[in-house]
């Protein structure tokens, strides 16, 4: 009986140890099995935001687009190196263009326009007389619409070539008709008054003062105190000087100028 009981206990013990051995085997297999779960892949970024190594397919987030090729970072041309454009209003095209705007402030251009635009209102005997008178005038500003200058007369003769020559031709002439003259220019009234005071009898070359005023009306006023030149100013000066020596100065103060108050 004792032997049988021992044998039974031994068999029971062996039976209890078998599941333990089976569990150990399972644990060993689970620890050595290779993980087959696929690695998470990184979706490639769009071109221009990151660089991808083509050999590995790995995106390098530390490298961005080349700023020199990124149109969003372009600042355009350097303004400090941009060449200025040419201003046509200040460009001089040739030597005959005296000032801006491409206006030819020359006596040739002025007289060529005058002889056609003002043929019915001319204050010159011919084109040569126009050129001679024009040579006495200040060039002035091409934009001037009043004042004593070639610029003012060129403006008005240009307008006269298209409209109202009866208005603009007198302004474009040598007298300036109260427009193309200096505010302080000598006047025919001043000249004729002094002349009749000092040049009497055979030294007076006018029929009367009205004749003097009418003859003087087309002259270039010039400036006060001029001693030479075909101007009202020159004649006024010599008419005044005739007070002391009428025989010498009255001929200079007369309409012909006696080789003194003439184009020099």
Residue 70 in any domain: the answer is no
Q: Considering its fold, how many domains does the chain have in total? A: 2
With bands split at pLDDT 50, 70 and 90, how would you rate the model's confidence at 182? Answer: very high
Rounded to whole angstroms, how far apart are CA atoms 72 and 66? 11
**How confident is the model at residue 26, as a pLDDT?**
42
Return the SS3 of 52: strand
Question: 168 and 192 in one domain?
Answer: no
DSSP state, residue 202 = G
Residue 34 in any domain: the answer is no
Residue 129 in any domain: the answer is yes
With bands split at pLDDT 50, 70 and 90, how would you rate the model's confidence at 256? Answer: very high
Residue 117 in any domain: the answer is yes
Q: State the residue range of the domain holding 174.
A: 107-178
With bands split at pLDDT 50, 70 and 90, how would you rate the model's confidence at 102? Answer: low
Domain boundary pick from 127, 154, 178: 178
**How confident is the model at residue 104, as a pLDDT?**
86
Question: 154 and 119 in one domain?
Answer: yes
Question: 198 and 174 in one domain?
Answer: no
| Tokens (6 digits) for 218 | 């087309």
Return the SS3 of 32: helix
Instruction: Check if the beta carbon of residue 249 is closer than 8 Å to that of residue 242.
Output: yes
Q: Over 60: is that where the pLDDT of 86 sits?
A: no
pTM, rounded to two decimals? 0.62
Tell me the β-bridge partners of 60.
51
Rounded to whole angstroms, how far apart are CA atoms 143 and 135? 19
- Integer angstrom CA distances of residue 109 from 17, 112, 144, 157: 131, 5, 17, 10
Residue 92 in any domain: the answer is no
Please identify which residue in the block is written with the tokens 């307008």.
159
Burial of 82: CB neighbours in 10 Å, binned 0-12, 13-18, 19+: exposed
Phi, psi of 190 (to 5 degrees): -65, -45
Question: 192 and 174 in one domain?
Answer: no
């Amino acid at each position: 009986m004792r032997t049988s009981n021992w044998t039974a206990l031994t068999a029971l013990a062996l039976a209890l140890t078998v599941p333990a051995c089976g569990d150990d085997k399972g644990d060993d297999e689970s620890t050595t099995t290779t993980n087959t779960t696929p690695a998470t892949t990184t979706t490639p970024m769009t071109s221009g935001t990151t660089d991808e190594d083509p050999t590995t397919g790995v995106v390098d987030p530390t490298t961005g687009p080349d700023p020199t090729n990124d149109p969003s970072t372009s600042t355009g041309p350097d303004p400090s190196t941009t060449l200025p454009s040419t201003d046509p209003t200040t460009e001089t095209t040739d030597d005959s263009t005296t000032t801006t705007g491409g206006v030819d402030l020359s006596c040739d251009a002025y007289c060529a326009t005058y002889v056609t635009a003002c043929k019915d209102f001319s204050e010159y005997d011919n084109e040569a007389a126009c050129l001679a008178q024009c040579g006495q005038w200040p060039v002035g500003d091409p934009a001037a619409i009043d004042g004593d200058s070639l610029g003012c007369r060129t403006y008005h003769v240009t307008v006269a070539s298209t409209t109202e020559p009866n208005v603009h031709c007198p302004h474009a002439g040598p007298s300036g008709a109260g427009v193309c003259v200096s505010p302080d220019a000598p006047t025919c009234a001043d000249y004729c008054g002094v002349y009749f005071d000092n040049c009497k009898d055979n030294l007076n070359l006018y029929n009367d003062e009205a004749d003097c005023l009418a003859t003087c009306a087309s002259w270039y006023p010039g400036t006060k105190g001029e001693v030479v030149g075909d101007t009202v100013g020159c004649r006024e000066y010599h008419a005044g000087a005739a007070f002391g020596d009428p025989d010498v100065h009255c001929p200079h103060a007369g309409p012909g100028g006696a080789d003194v108050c003439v184009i020099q």
